[in-house]
Structure 1
Amino acid sequence: MKESIQAYDAAIIGGGLTGLTAAVYLARAGRSVILLEKERRLGGMAETTRINGALFNLGPHAMYEGGAALRILRELDCEPPGGYAAKSGMLGILQGRIVDVSRDLSAEESGEWSGLMGGLSGIDTDAVGSLSLRDWSQKKIRHERVRLLFEGMCRQWTYSGDMSALSAGFAIRQGQLAALGVRYVDRGWQAAVERLRGAAVQAGAVLAAGRAAERVLLRDGRVRGVSLADGSALEAAAVLMAAGPEEACRLVPGSARMSLGKWRGEARPLYAACLDIALKRPPCPERVFALGLDEPLYFSKHSGPVSLSDDGSAVFHAMKYNGTDGGSDAKADESRLTELLDLLEPGWDKEIAAMRFTPGVLVAHDSRPACRHGAGPAPGPSVPEASGLFVAGDWVGADGRLADAAMASAKAAAEAILRRR
């Protein structure tokens, strides 16, 4: 007897924030949906790992008040508990020394810094979108240390290290969102994943973790379904690739001749090296946030406003932004990050409750949306050469960065699928 093939209105490939967001929207609209995730655990780049009682996200994660991620989580009634990062206590690292913004700046520098950050919301970002951040900062900021501080903040807001390529409009727009509030998630970002998972299941979506897609099935220029690595297949009127451009191209036959192949070829991924640590008793508990001014470094305590450990240990993230260099020297990066901790938390190695170093972390699948000259029309959400094929992720659309871009494009893709007849 021939086994019947299951049919769905939509199949989603990828079980991170992108895929789960789209699944909730589609299932709540009455569509039959299956989500395929090759790993046994949902979450993707938003997963949280428990190590010796400490909860580590994949490097430092935060949501911006006013950004698409928080807006969509609230719209779906899936916002997890969280708290806001402090807006004071910033330190800079310049030539291997600590610069305390509240004490070490001159009166003139302090006045310019306060005016710059206080006036951020009034800047017309569209008017400066064609300028590089370097050109804008050199024109607008008189003091060198203030310029370095601001460029360090822009690096943090955008994950982009090349100030000569970074769009001033894009960077400042991200800063305007950050000024409204930087929100950490209690018990890690897996809490957001679980909220979305529960909402998707309640709405009727089928979440198939541990089932890997092998190929998108196309015929006569239309999506027909998906074949799976276990040899089975399913029918689907629409397929949403909630994955990076590399994975999307691998799964779609003939992608090199489609817009999908063009998007993949143009993508410029961003990478970082991350050192995540939980300290039983931080040697300098007042030091909660620092940025490299002459190096692409980041340090922050994320457990202040939220709980990220079972025993109350403080969770910190130290990171080196590596830009588009996915082959950065891992040993050198780890050494530099431990030196950063030696400077900011001397004696930290005697208080370790948990620690993890991760080199070559993929931060974003494409850096082009932040570039000065733009990147042409934004990818997706539809792939015009294949009816019923859609894409979503942090590389799709033009709304924000990282989780904001991923979830905004997921919503846009779901809406595009719902408009199909």
Structure 2
Amino acid sequence: MTRRALILLEGHMSNGLLYVKAAQRLGLHPITLSADPAQYNYIAAERLEAIRVDTDNLDALIHECSRLGATYDIAGLTGFAYPSESVYATVGKLCRHFDLPGPNSASIERCCDKFVQRQFLADAGIPMPAYRLAFDLTEVERTAAEIGLPVVVKPAVGSGSRGVRLCRTVDELAEHTTYLLGGKHIWRSSPRILVEEFAQGPYYEAEIIGNAVLGITAAEFDSPPHFVFRDSVFPAPLSDDEQKRIAHVSLNCLRALGLGWGPTHVEFRWTKRGPVVIEVNPRLPGGITPRMVRVACGVDLVTEHIKLVIGEECDLSRWHSHTAAARILIPDRDGVLDWINGDSLAGAIPGVADVKLYVEPKTPIVRKGDIRDRIGYVIAASPDLAQTKAILQRAVELIEWSITPFPALGQ
């Protein structure tokens, strides 16, 4: 019997191994196609099959998948929005070419361009912050003056909060624009900057599979001016009316953008106007969210996504009703990590669902103000929110580390 394979375009630091393990549990053989398979540590650690191929080259990917199809029964194909969001749009094109279930590539592409996404949402009357597109410092300063400080300045294309910053003064505006356009930020397309009104209020995220809103996550960020997640709770402690309003706007977003197949997560701020949309991401959220959803209600988002990918019906039935809370571990300084410990003690506490450290001693720590700053996480769960938070806090206090700052220049 021909072995059934799941093709994965590129990988993911936090979700990649989840997809591999879920695929194996479903009896599938995962094969990763990547421009650089070595960047994903779990591929070598798990002795997984991986093939080096230019994932920006559609013809090369079609050739490689056709070659694999002579050996395997390709049950499905999916991937990750890394190293660029365009990878997931390519997934849609490949699925269409091979007549496999998958996302609509045109819908994915209009989401990946944040300015284009905003235009589609605006045409549908979706509540959003004011926004403008800019190409140089003069335009950034002019549009920021029109919107009014503070503003959020970010690349029109990108993920993981790379290059995203809150600018509260004209000096901060100039500093960050110079950073973005001065060669330090890596652009995968022509440089275009989105300047947005800073929507002030609590942050929420709707977790969606198909057209079903599975639940809503509440999260808080670490210190400004960057947007690095620190604390999360699922499900968010919202009233029924608040949940319905977020779900209603979320589904309107799907219709406006032509989405509705597979996973989506919609980011919100709850402002004086109610929920306003910060961003629509046509994929599973990265980081810890899938793990939190699983321990809170028993739904494995990764497994259910793979079922859709291979043409099976997904099951979003809840097996229990807990509250999950998570803390992202973020260093408070740059330097060399001398030591880090306490993860085993934290993981042994009843109610702690998962503990993960991303770094080892002697690792250089250089904070970038985005998703790459994370050095680990802790997730706890229980039937009660207050109890869950207490368990989480107790576990976090057991994890300690020491960082020696880099020597000052000239020393």
TM-score (norm 2): 0.25
User: Which protein, 1 or 2, shows the higher relative CO under an 8 Å CA cutoff with sep ≥ 6?
Assistant: 1
TM-score (norm 1): 0.24
